[in-house]
Amino acid sequence: MNRESAAEISRRLAEDLNQASAEYMRLQRLEMDIIRETSSGIPLPDGVVRIIQAWEVVRVAFAEYQRTVKRYRDFLDRGVVPEDLMGE
């Protein structure tokens, strides 16, 4: 792989982590909103389904981040240092 592809992986690391973090924060807000919807503080079945669906989105986002981290580590295993990944 050339430096452009290494820099692209470095950029994707940041993007993937930001996306996964944003989805996780959205999930936390959703959970709080669903709990507030009920007087008992226990989510109704449809709320539980919405939480489970949101967790799946978070899982997929973090899985993509982990795939990008693996590609980054593959570069490091070949002796490419982070400065090289940025093309510096």
**Domain residue extents for the chain:** 3-83
Give 88's pLDDT tier (boundaries 50, 70, 90).
very low
- In this predicted structure, what is the pLDDT of residue 85? 52
- The model's pTM is 0.63
Identify which has the larger pLDDT, 6 or 8.
Answer: 8
Task: Read off the pLDDT of residues 24-75 as tens digits, 9 standing for 90 and up.
Answer: 998 889 888 888 887 777 777 888 888 888 889 898 988 988 888 887 787 7
Name the maximum alpha-carbon separation found in the chain.
58
Q: Give the angle subtended at the CA of 45 by the CAs of 54 and 51, to the nearest 5°.
A: 10
